[in-house]
Each structure stands twice: as C-alpha cells, then as structure tokens.
Structure 1
Amino acid sequence: MNVVVERPVADAAVGLAAFRREFYRCLTRRADALFELVDAALCADGPVGSLVGLSLVGEHRRGHGSLYAALNRGRVDVDRLRTAVAAVPVPRAADGRIVLAVDVTCWLGPEAHTCPQRVLCHTYGRGKDTHIMVPGWPYSLVTALETGRSSWTAPLDVRRLAPGDDAATVTADQLRDVVRRLITAGQWQPGDPDMWVVADAGYDGPRLAFLLADLPVRVLVRMRSDRVLRRRAPVERTGNGRPPRHGGEFVFGDPASWGDPDAVTITDTRLYGTATVRAWHALHPRLTHRTAWTSHTGTLPIIEGTVVLLTVDRLPSGATPKPVWLWWSHPEPSSSEVGLIWQAFLRRFDIEHTFRMLKQTMGWTSPKLRDPAAADRWTWLVLAAYTQLRLARSAVADLRRPWERPAPPERLTPARVRRGFRNLRGKAGNPASAPKPSRPGPGRPPGQRNHRPATRHDVHIVTSTKPANTPKRPKKTANPTPRRTG
C-alpha cells in the first residue's frame, strides 16, 4: 500500500508554534507547570526515567513539588485537545485514504496496591510460550498509519478502559469520535475514499462494522483460524417452512468447505517472499443473543464481508509462517482492494513502534502515580508531546551519534527528531509565564509516622454471575476440530 508522508507546512516552526499555543489553552489549571513538564520531556537528554528527573531539565523552571502538584491537581481540557490533535495533518494513502489502527496497551502496576481501578491485563513475552495476567490500567489508542521504511504513526486519541467497560463498545465510540473530528477538521470530505480501520484478532470485526455503519469507514480485522462463517441463503426455497437466513458453512479449518476463491492475487515481496492472497465474498457470522448481542432487540442482523486468506513463503524472524485470516467489511471488494487489504493489515504492527517510543523514550508508564485521573492527564501530555514531534519532523537538524548513519529529514526516527527538538523550541515560542519565587513547605516533621495510610484497592476481575446453586453442565467429549461460530 503506497502512502505519502504528510506534507509539511511552509514553515514547520509556524505550524508547531500554532499547536503549542492551542495546547497551552487546553491546560485550564496549573497550565505553566504542565506545559513546561511537556517541554522537559521533549528536551531531556536520553529516555525519561522518572518524573522528578524532569525537574532538573533546563526547560523546566520550577521545582519538583510543582511538577507533582500539577499532575495531581492540574486540569486538561481533553475534548479541546482531541480537536487540536485531529486538526494536525495525518498520513494519507496514494488515493487520499486515511488508515486508522486501534489497539490496547497496558500501564502495568502489579505492586501498586493503592491504585484504584486496576484490571488484569493480558501480557505477552514474559516467558517461553507464557501469557500471564498482570494488574494495570489498559489504554485504547487510535493512530493513523503511514507506510514505507518508517516507524512513525499519528496518534489521534487514547482512552483508559475502566473496570466493567465493554471493549467493543468503547472502541466503537472512540472510533466514531475520531472519525467525526477528522471530518470536522476537514481531513475527510464527501467524495473522498472511505477510511479504513485495522485491528487485530481481539476485536469483533462484524460488531465494529455494525456500530460504525453510518460512517465512511471500512473495517479490517484478523480472525482466529477456528472460526466458522456462513454464505448467503439460497434464493430457491425448499419445503414449506420458514425461508433460511443462512447458507452453507465456511469452516476456516476445513479446506473442503471453501470452494473456489472469488479473487486471487500473488505478490513478490522483499521480506516475505511470495505472498498469496485468496478472497471469498459475501460471508457472514451467524450471530446469537450472547456476549455483545445480548441486549439487541429484534432479529439479529446479517453482516456480510469478505474473508481473506494470506499465506507467505517466509518470515523475517525465521519462524515457520502460519496462514492469516482477515475479515473485510466490504462484501464484494475489487481486485485492487484485495491486493491492498493484507498490506494494510501488516502496517498495523507499526503501532508497536509508537508504544515503544511512548513507554521507553517518553517515559509514559514510568511515573508512580496513584490517581487514575493523574495517569490520564499524563497520558494526554505525552500524546501532545508526540504530536509536537510530528510537526517538528521536517524542521529539526539530524544530531546523529558518531556510530549512526546519516538520514534525510523524511527518514528521521521519532527519537532522533526529539534529540534536535531543543534547537527548534526557541523558534516555536513558549507561552508559559516565568515562575514566581516561593519556598518549599515544611513537610512531615522528622521521626513522625504517617497516620493516614493510603487506601488499598483490590484488582477488578471478571466473575461469574450465576447463582451458587446452579448445576454444572456435563463435560462434552473432546472435539478434534474446535469451532467458533459466534
């Protein structure tokens, strides 16, 4: 999928200065301290390891007490900040299309017993073939993708999933809000190609497509290899009963049920060798009144889409490649779209580079914050800092290390742009006022114990809602080919 990097403004410093002024207006309480905290995170030498370390950066002219007080008692107009971020140019495809990716990352806090609203987060890579649940705060992030040999994305929105939230509903509301803000900002106009939303297997693609059906959006998600979909119901009626709503089964694990594909594309790639894509049109899941569809009134809808099977010769890691199943919300796409679908899905993994940049370099999850509201406040400050890096991308000088290769401006990584942000900051202006002289408080007298310990909170987990005397269902015999029909 060929994508053109966002076009820089005539003077990048002018666009950066305009965003910094608008960002300052979004800080409604303790604005000066919060604004300089973001500048300190952008201008610090090396990765951000702690909040108190940012008080030693020259751009932060206040003490460490003011830093923590601003995060705990400051205020950010998040709604206005969302609008300001949506107004920044986003990457577009060659045909003017916007490709959005959504994923959840966690702010882990296994020992943070005094932090409320923690839930069990699914973590990967903490052992050989081991996935464990770690308490923390999950955050849903929506970004706009670009292609090429680049690790850049354009984060547009972030929301924390509170205990009891339905991830599908929250994600649909989040995407709806992002799409509407992009339309309001003029990023999408009638006649432009539909936006694409790309997600991994943890999301219910048909459900997202149903909830976003009134927007110019197409949904692309990966499906598990044990799913079963249905074809369209036959036109001819057999018998006198009610006409069927579903046709024959399409079992992912049974090639005999596939039939001939409606479209086939073969592409030679540098990393994966030969990529073969087969597509079957007009397939839908057979929905039941369970999980997210429990509260749906009336007849359940039939949500048709296209199933895409991607197979490659090799993987860059050397592991054995496995087939990838994708579901596309367009029931009958063109052959050119089928050739772009799998490429758009592979670009979705660029969001992992953004997670790594926010956590390991910008220090997003480094602070030991107790209040979830303070964590949300710091999250949006980091997102605003990353947006400033996007605006400064074409204007900063490459301050490369002696062992690094020279790179053109369009090939600079976010970390290298951050390295030269300090030299551009003077041209972008600083709306924060100078600090007033003050003295630190006396604090707790030496030797006196804390008689107001913080409240300890339990981790929220999903529990069964069945009564205690509900009889258990008998165990079924093992099925050699487990199937998911929902």
Structure 2
Amino acid sequence: MVSVVEQGDPFAELSRFRGVFYDCLTGRRDAMFELADAVLCTDGPVKTLVGLALAPERRRGHGALYGALNRGRVDVDRLRTALARLPLPRAADGRLVLAVDVSPWLRPDADTSNARSFCHTYGRGDAKHQMIPGWPYSWVVALESGRTSWVAPLDAVRLRPGDDLGAATASQLRGLVERLVAADQWCAGDPLMWIVADAGYDVMRLAWLLRDLPVEILGRLRSDRVMRRPAPTRAEFAQANPAGGRPPKHGGEFIFKDARTWGAPDAETKAETTRYGTVHAQGWNRLHPELQQRAAWRDHPGKLPVIEGTVVRLQVDYLPSGGDPKPLRLWWSRPTASPADTDLAWQTFLRRFDIEHFFRMIKQTLGWTAPRLRDAEAADRWTWLTVAAHTQLRLARPLAIDLRRPWEKPTEPNKLTPARVRRGFRHLHARTSTPAAVPKPSRPGPGRPPGSKNRRPANRYDVGLLLVTGEPYRRPTHHKVGTKPRRTG
C-alpha cells in the first residue's frame, strides 16, 4: 500500500478546516475553539483539563473552560461531513481502507456520571480480562500506508448501555460510507472500500448488514471457530447418495484447530520479510458460518442467509516483540480470492494496528481521557474537540518543522510523528487566522459562601450490565478454559 499525495496548498487546507470547525461550534464557540487550540499548543502532554487555561492561546479563564464543555454545543453532523471531504490516505489502487475499533474512557470511581457501561479491558493489572466501568467509544479511521502512526479519524460514537455492538457499528459505518460517497471519495467503478475489524466483531454479520454498500469486510476470527463449506448441488448429492434423501444445508466442517478438515488451500503464498521472517499465507474460498435462529439472528425474517467468504490463515516465523508467533486467521467477505488477493488481505489487516498508535496518541498526549467530566454529553463534546485537534495535526504535517530533542534522531519533515508535529504547531498557529473573538472583561461570580453546605448533591447512577435483549450479562464462553469449538454463528 502507498498513500496518494494530497493535492492543494497544505496551509490553505489547514486554515479552511479551522474556519469550518469554528462554524460547527454552535454554542460557546469561542471558548471551545480556543480550548482545542490549547490542546495543540500547550507544552507537553495534556494531564489535566484546568491546566489548559494556562496556555497563552487560551485567552479565557478556567470557568469558561468548564462551561464550554458542560453547556456548549457542537454540530456533529456538519463536522462529520467536513471530515469526509478532506483529503484521505488511500491504497496503491486508490481504495479507501477503514479501521473500526472500540476504545474505552474508563471511569471506575465516577458514581455521579451517567450512561456508564462495563468496558472490557485486556492486560490491565494482574488479571488479563477485566470489566471496568466507563464510556466505550466506537472509532472509525482511515488507514495510511506503510509503517506509520498516522491515521485520519472520521467518526466517533459513544456506545450506550445495552447497545448491540454489531447493529451500532453497522449503523455508524453505513452513515460514514454514505458521507464518503456524497463527498465523491468513492465513485462508480472505483475499487471497493475495505473495512478492517478485530476479533471482537462479528464480521459475517457486518458483511450481511452492509451488503448493499460498496464495501468489503476483513476481520480476525478466534481460533475456536468452525466454518462450513458450500452445500453440494443436487446432482452431486444424488451421485454420492443413490438411495436419495434430503440434501444438506451446509457442506463439511472446516475446524480451525483440526488441520485434517482443511483440505488443500485454494491459494497459498510465501514471502520473506524483515519484520516477521517467512510469512506463509493460505486461503480457502467460499466458507461460511452455520447460523442459528438465536442471539443476533433471533428476529431475522425468513430463512437465515449463507454468508460466504474467504478464510486466510497466516503463519510467521517470529514477532518483533519476541512473543509466540501464533497463527492469524482472517475472514474476508470476498467469496473467492487469488494468491495475489490473499497477500493483499493480510498486508492490509496488519495496517489495522495503526489505530492502536492513534489511541495511545489521543490518550497520552492529547489527553482524551484526562478530564474528569461528569456528564456523558460533555464527554462527547470533548471527544469531538480531540478529533478536530488531531485532524489539524494531520493537515499541518507537511508544514511542521522537526523540533527534536537532543537525544532523538533527525527525521524527514514528511515522516514526523503526530507528537513531533504538535511540538511545532504553536509556530503555525501564529500564522493562521483565529476566528474566535477577543474575550470581554468580566468579574467572577461570588460562588457558594464559605462554610455553607451543598444542598444540591449530584445524582448517583448504577453501572448497567444488560444485553440488548434485556438479559443479564454472563461471562463469555471464550473466556473459559477447555471449551469446545464454536460450530454456530
């Protein structure tokens, strides 16, 4: 994959987006706009929200800062449309590659915060799997080519308690794809857009819900899955069963943990890489899960569909981290794939891990999860301010100067990381226009008299843990040891 060179003047594109972002702020816009500038121009990582009031670009006090997040307004639909119209990274054949994933904003001790859910975390503390209260956000980003930490965030949706992850993700992706088509990012005859997801998603269900859109789904599968081959035709069944009978609905089993059920692959390639050693990829065409009339498919009208795709098994010699190189299993919504397509599939999926760099950047540097906000709506406003700030860094990437530390190696200007671009954004900010008005002088209010009690305590909310069907949460079977292969979808 190689990225397409963005056209136009980068400085003009940055200034234009700043103006559009200001117009998207419909309530307390001056305070919110300067808050985003403070995130970009402050020295060091954002650790506290009130610390941003000390930035020179933030000309208002800390009271206006909290008031902007608590009572401001953002035209999210207009901002989403503006993000879809920006120049986006593409693959060598011109296609868009989108990655979707959920990142939690953990709030374990915020009893007065509403709409919290139990967020799944891995590797936090001694236990590997933990459920911690917080606000889970579903992110969709456009991936860039090569080994990079840059992505283009396009959408963020907070998942509410009881939301169906598959249905909510499908609705989010559908809205994004429609905006990209309306912005002429995809036209008839262009390569289909790819959507890359991790193992936490039901990629087969996503492929079915988005089957009318110009997209292909590529996702990782768990190692305990069992797929089915295509059902034999009537002629093949009659030849194999002269005595007759009812033809089966599904073909033979393809058990991931049983190599005896695999058969000869339809595509097989080997490649030498400097990062993983020898990469051995195998592909089997037209494999589908055996769906049952339960869970997400309980209310499906009519006959359950047969969702065919390609299963790709990837095995490498070693990992850069030195861990055990376990095989990687992917499912692609394209029913058949050639050896060249199989190589392209696993290379595209490895680009999905760039979204992890994005999560680390917005959390550790831009301070996405640093504020201790009470209302979930305020968290949504801060999330979109973070998206706008990161987008300005991406647009300023060709303009940034490398202000490296003495112990850092020199880097080419166009290969700076987002954190190093942010170091020099203050110099670019002085050259760009600031649509925010000059603050008017005012006096702070008297506040609550010293020694008086708070007679309006905040409400406290329980953390709900219910499924979309209203049933209580139970520990997933894949978290238990010694379970049988999952033969149904």
> Offset at 1:204?
0.4
> Offset at 1:483?
3.1
Is it true that 1:75 corresponds to 2:73 in the alignment? Answer: yes
- Aligned letter for 1:277? A
Note the residue ranges of structure 1 that are not aligned, 5 or more in a row. 468-477
Is it true that 1:285 corresponds to 2:285 in the alignment? Answer: no
Is it true that 1:301 corresponds to 2:301 in the alignment? Answer: no
Is it true that 1:367 corresponds to 2:371 in the alignment? Answer: yes
Partner of residue 16, structure 2: 18
- Confirm or deny: 8 A CA contact 1:263 1:335 kept in the other structure: yes
Is it true that 1:157 corresponds to 2:155 in the alignment? Answer: yes
Question: Which of these residues, 32, 39, 61, is aligned with residue 59 of structure 2?
Answer: 61
SS at match of 2:54: coil
SS at match of 1:394: helix
Partner of residue 472, structure 1: none
Is it true that 1:336 corresponds to 2:340 in the alignment? Answer: yes
**Structure 1 466/42 Cα, relative in aligned 2: closer, same or farther at 3 Å?**
closer
Note the residue ranges of structure 2 that are not aligned, 5 or more in a row. 473-480
- Aligned letter for 1:312? V
> Offset at 1:103?
0.3
Partner of residue 425, structure 2: 421
Listed as ranges, the matches of 1:311-350 within 5 Å are 311-350=315-354
Partner of residue 483, structure 1: 486
Listed as ranges, the matches of 1:101-140 within 5 Å are 101-128=99-126, 130-140=128-138
Listed as ranges, the matches of 1:364-403 within 5 Å are 364-403=368-407
Question: Which of these residues, 159, 164, 167, is aligned with residue 165 of structure 2?
Answer: 167
- Confirm or deny: 8 A CA contact 1:307 1:328 kept in the other structure: yes
> Offset at 1:481?
4.4
- Aligned letter for 1:381? L
- Confirm or deny: 8 A CA contact 2:90 2:145 kept in the other structure: no
> Offset at 1:242?
3.9
> Offset at 1:402?
1.3
> Offset at 1:345?
1.1
SS at match of 1:120: strand
- Confirm or deny: 8 A CA contact 1:42 1:421 kept in the other structure: yes
Partner of residue 458, structure 1: 462
Is it true that 1:36 corresponds to 2:69 in the alignment? Answer: no
Partner of residue 475, structure 1: none
- Aligned letter for 1:20? R
**What RMSD, in angstroms, separates the aligned Cα atoms of the two structures?**
1.6
- Aligned letter for 2:2? V
**How far, CA to CA, are the matches of 2:275 and 2:295 in structure 1?**
39
Per-residue CA distance 1:363-401 (angstroms, 9 max, x = gap): 101101001000001000100110011100001111111
Partner of residue 477, structure 2: none
Partner of residue 197, structure 1: 195
SS at match of 1:90: coil
**How far, CA to CA, are the matches of 1:381 and 1:248 in structure 2?**
51
Bigger shift: residues 235-244 or 125-134: 235-244
**How far, CA to CA, are the matches of 1:168 and 1:391 in structure 2?**
32
- Confirm or deny: 8 A CA contact 1:8 1:391 kept in the other structure: no
Bigger shift: residues 297-306 or 186-195: 186-195
Per-residue CA distance 1:8-56 (angstroms, 9 max, x = gap): 4442111001001111110001010000000000000000111111111
Partner of residue 478, structure 2: none
Question: Which of these residues, 429, 436, 453, is aligned with residue 432 of structure 1?
Answer: 436
**How far, CA to CA, are the matches of 1:375 and 1:481 in structure 2?**
41
**How far, CA to CA, are the matches of 1:439 and 1:128 in structure 2?**
50
- Aligned letter for 1:26? C
**How far, CA to CA, are the matches of 1:45 and 1:456 in structure 2?**
36
**Structure 1 466/96 Cα, relative in aligned 2: closer, same or farther at 3 Å?**
closer
- Aligned letter for 2:488? T
Q: How many residues get paired?
A: 474
SS at match of 2:398: coil
Listed as ranges, the matches of 1:255-294 within 5 Å are 255-294=259-298
> Offset at 1:144?
0.7
Partner of residue 3, structure 1: 2
- Aligned letter for 1:248? G
- Aligned letter for 2:485? P
> Offset at 1:336?
1.3
**How far, CA to CA, are the matches of 2:185 and 2:486 in structure 1?**
42
- Confirm or deny: 8 A CA contact 2:290 2:487 kept in the other structure: no
- Confirm or deny: 8 A CA contact 2:279 2:314 kept in the other structure: yes
